């Protein structure tokens, strides 16, 4: 049985500019063939067991020839696989997608093209440069800047006469030639020009000038590939229309090692972490905790549920473990009649509500200590099951016991170091981080266990924590905590980070 190949444009760099259809198909992939121009966070959208093939090409260094890439696509499809060819920008805009499609056609293999947002328009927009503008430019022209000889370039005499915006893709290596030929062929030397590097990403950098000085300005600004060259009067609008670089966190590298509600490793559009991205930060999400449900413990609790009066959930992970077992045994809320449900924090309560279980007690301050303030005289003598992790719950159990309750710890899940993220963590640390976010003592302790002495890099970064228990653990280890919100939630933490900057 033949498979199918999807030629997908991943857009210019900002993950949010990928199309919904592209994301949908990626999640169904068997094999993903990708290149260097895609945002590496995109690969978190694919299932863990997907085959990943890196066919990256660098200017002047095509490690895997195009003919071989064509064969990889076809061979994988002939194995019956759903193959994704993932390209930066749009596959049919200087992406050689047409060549790959023709090869597949010639071998009788089904394919589909999912267009991407091209850098020829989007990168300019993120730089505050409209590619067209009434009264300034009524047309734009996209040109390859990747020629090896004069014959590979379009007619510069014709280009120089055009009044519309000129956009050159992949032209840094040949920039002096491109600019020189435009001037030679009559384009005024004072024509506004810009070069945009790493457009639509937190590493966006821009050199602005005219044809006469743009090459020098780009060198001074250390502008390198990938970059877009734009020539035309629309460049002058950047001084008023620049917006992306105004983000409060623009260019900041933020490492998040906690856990959160996620789909294939990426925060959803409404998550607090996404808010940090919207303000220009590059957020690296590498949870250091590997959470495993202890099924037999949860089953034992469910079997003996009638012996408890109160169910106390200390985290959403405990809720997930509990609800998962309830579903497995085809039990619903009726099974929990006459039981009180307490939750530490709104995130835990929200996770309960997703299973149509609603907490009777949620403290205003999102800590175990605050939960104890809700214990009443009527609760004394009641039996409470504290559904928590192997390393959690001790404080609340001690507090409940002091208040006269009979507290029983149920280890619903285990926290273990997530060794799988070691390579990625080390890479991010070596490249430098501005801030690290910790949501529990274990997220910090496991990071230290995973990366060893490299954790010393935190002494040169800001540290943000979700609450006092985490703050105390990190300070005890000799590190300074810079940010802790009054509201001990990810939302509260993200707002405090934005206020800090």
Residue 382 catalytic?
no
**What local confidence, expressed as pLDDT, does residue 260 receive?**
58
Residue 170 catalytic?
yes
Contact between 280 and 250 (Cβ < 8 Å): yes
Dihedral of the alpha carbons of 343, 277, 28, 226, in degrees to the nearest 10:
-160
Tell me the average pLDDT across 282-307.
94
**What local confidence, expressed as pLDDT, does residue 368 receive?**
75
Q: Which residue has the tokens 């061979």?
A: 75
Counted domains in the chain: 4
405 and 422 belong to one structural domain? no
CATH number of the domain enclosing 13? 3.40.1010.10
CATH number of the domain enclosing 397? 3.40.50.10090
Mean of all residue pLDDT scores within the chain? 92
330 and 394 belong to one structural domain? yes
Q: With b meaning 16 or more CB within 10 Å and e meaning fewer, what string describes 280-294?
A: bbbbbbbbbbebebb
Q: Terminal CA-to-CA distance of the chain, rounded, Å? A: 56
Residues of the chain with pLDDT > 70, as a percent, come to 96
Task: Supply the range of the domain harboring residue 172.
Answer: 121-245
Contact between 159 and 182 (Cβ < 8 Å): yes
CATH number of the domain enclosing 159? 3.30.950.10
| Long-range contacts at 204-213 (CB < 8 A, ≥ 24 apart) | 204/126, 204/127, 204/244, 204/245, 206/127, 206/238, 206/245, 208/235, 208/238, 211/179, 211/182, 211/183, 211/187, 212/183
Residues 179-208: pLDDT tens digits? 999 999 999 999 999 999 999 999 999 999
Could you tell me which residues come within 8 angstroms of residue 495 by beta carbon, excluding any fewer than 6 positions away?
272, 485, 487
Query: Is the pLDDT at 392 greater than 90, yes or no?
Result: no
- The alpha helices in 242-382, defined as continuous H runs, are 272-278, 295-303, 316-328, 346-354, 368-372
The catalytic position among 14, 18, 30, 35 is 35
Distance CA 78, CA 81 (A): 7
Whether a cis peptide bond, with omega within 30° of 0, leads into 226 is: yes
Residue 198 phi, psi (nearest 5) = 55, 40
- The alpha helices in 154-194, defined as continuous H runs, are 156-161, 175-184
355 and 444 belong to one structural domain? no
HEC string for 390-403: CCCCHHHHHHHHHC
Q: Which residue has the tokens 């068997």?
A: 30
301 and 408 belong to one structural domain? yes
Distance CA 195, CA 197 (A): 7
- The alpha helices in 329-456, defined as continuous H runs, are 346-354, 368-372, 394-402, 422-431, 441-451
136 and 108 belong to one structural domain? no
Q: At which of 415, 450, 468 does a domain end?
A: 415
226 and 264 belong to one structural domain? no
The catalytic position among 2, 44, 57, 491 is 57
Tell me the average pLDDT across 112-133.
98
Band of residue 153 on the pLDDT scale cut at 50, 70, 90: confident
The three-class DSSP label of residue 6 is: strand
The catalytic position among 76, 87, 170, 197 is 170
Angle between helices 66-78 and 97-106 (to 10 degrees): 50
DSSP code per residue over 240-268:
HH--GGGSTTTT-EEEE-S--S-BTTB--
Q: At which of 379, 395, 415 does a domain end?
A: 415
Contact between 478 and 458 (Cβ < 8 Å): no
Token pair, residue 55, equals: 């066919």
455 and 379 belong to one structural domain? no
15 and 88 belong to one structural domain? yes
Nearest to 284 by CA among 480, 433, 409, 151: 433
Residues 218-273: pLDDT tens digits? 999 999 999 999 999 999 999 999 999 999 999 999 999 987 554 444 555 557 88
**What local confidence, expressed as pLDDT, does residue 62 receive?**
56
302 and 404 belong to one structural domain? yes
406 and 464 belong to one structural domain? no
Pairing of β 205-210 and β 192-197: antiparallel
For 307, other C-beta atoms within 10 Å of its C-beta total 11
Residue 57 catalytic?
yes
Band of residue 64 on the pLDDT scale cut at 50, 70, 90: confident
Query: Is the pLDDT at 137 greater than 80, yes or no?
Result: yes
Token pair, residue 420, equals: 């799988």
Distance CA 195, CA 171 (A): 10
Band of residue 58 on the pLDDT scale cut at 50, 70, 90: low
Angle between helices 295-303 and 316-328 (to 10 degrees): 70
**What local confidence, expressed as pLDDT, does residue 178 receive?**
95
Q: At which of 415, 437, 457 does a domain end?
A: 415
pTM given for the model: 0.85
283 and 423 belong to one structural domain? yes
Handedness of CA 198, 201, 202, 207 (dihedral sign): positive
Distance CA 227, CA 394 (A): 54
Band of residue 383 on the pLDDT scale cut at 50, 70, 90: very high
**What local confidence, expressed as pLDDT, does residue 264 receive?**
40
296 and 354 belong to one structural domain? yes
């Amino acid at each position: 049985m033949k498979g199918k190949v999807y030629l997908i444009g991943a857009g210019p760099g900002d993950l949010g500019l990928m199309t919904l259809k592209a994301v949908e198909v990626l999640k169904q992939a068997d094999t993903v063939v990708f290149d260097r121009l895609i945002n590496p966070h995109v690969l978190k959208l694919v299932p863990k067991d997907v085959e990943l093939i890196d066919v990256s090409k660098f200017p002047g260094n095509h490690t895997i020839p195009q003919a071989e890439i064509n064969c990889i696509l076809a061979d994988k499809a002939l194995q019956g696989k759903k193959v994704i060819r993932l390209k930066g920008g749009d596959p049919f805009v200087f992406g050689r997608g047409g060549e790959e499609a023709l090869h597949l056609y010639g071998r009788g293999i089904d394919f589909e093209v999912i267009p991407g947002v091209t850098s020829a328009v989007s990168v300019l927009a993120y730089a505050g440069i409209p590619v067209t503008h009434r009264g300034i430019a009524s047309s734009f022209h996209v040109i390859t800047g990747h020629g090896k000889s004069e014959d590979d370039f379009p007619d510069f005499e014709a280009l120089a006469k055009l009044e519309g915006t000129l956009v050159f893709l992949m032209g840094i290596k040949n920039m002096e030639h491109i600019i020189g030929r435009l001037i030679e062929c009559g384009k005024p030397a004072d024509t506004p020009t810009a070069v945009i590097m790493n457009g639509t990403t937190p590493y966006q950098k821009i050199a602005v000038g005219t044809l006469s000085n743009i090459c020098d300005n780009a060198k001074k600004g250390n502008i390198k590939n990938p970059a877009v060259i734009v020539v035309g009067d629309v460049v002058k609008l950047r001084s008023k229309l620049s917006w992306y670089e105004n983000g409060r966190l623009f260019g900041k590298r933020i490492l998040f090692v906690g856990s959160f509600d996620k789909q294939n490793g990426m925060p959803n559009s409404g998550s607090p972490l996404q808010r940090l991205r919207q303000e220009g930060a590059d957020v690296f999400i590498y949870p250091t905790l590997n959470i495993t449900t202890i099924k037999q413990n949860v089953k034992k609790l469910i079997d003996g549920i009638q012996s408890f009066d109160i169910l106390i959930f200390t985290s959403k992970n405990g809720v997930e473990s509990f609800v998962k077992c309830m579903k497995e045994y085809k039990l619903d809320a009726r099974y929990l009649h006459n039981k009180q449900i307490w939750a530490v924090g709104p995130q835990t309560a929200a996770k309960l509500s997703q299973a149509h279980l609603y907490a009777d007690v949620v403290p205003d301050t999102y800590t175990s200590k605050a939960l104890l303030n809700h214990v009443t005289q009527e609760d004394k003598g009641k039996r409470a099951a504290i559904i928590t992790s192997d390393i959690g719950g001790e404080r609340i159990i001690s507090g409940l016991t002091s208040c006269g309750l009979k507290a029983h710890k149920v280890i619903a899940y285990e926290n273990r170091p997530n060794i799988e993220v070691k390579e990625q963590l080390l890479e991010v640390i070596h490249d430098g981080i501005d801030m690290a976010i910790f949501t529990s003592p274990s997220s910090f302790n496991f990071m230290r266990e995973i990366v060893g002495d490299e954790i010393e890099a935190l002494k040169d970064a800001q540290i943000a924590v979700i609450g006092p228990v985490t703050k105390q653990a990190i300070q005890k280890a000799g590190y300074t905590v810079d940010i802790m919100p009054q509201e001990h939630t990810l939302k509260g933490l993200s707002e405090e980070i934005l206020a800090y900057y």
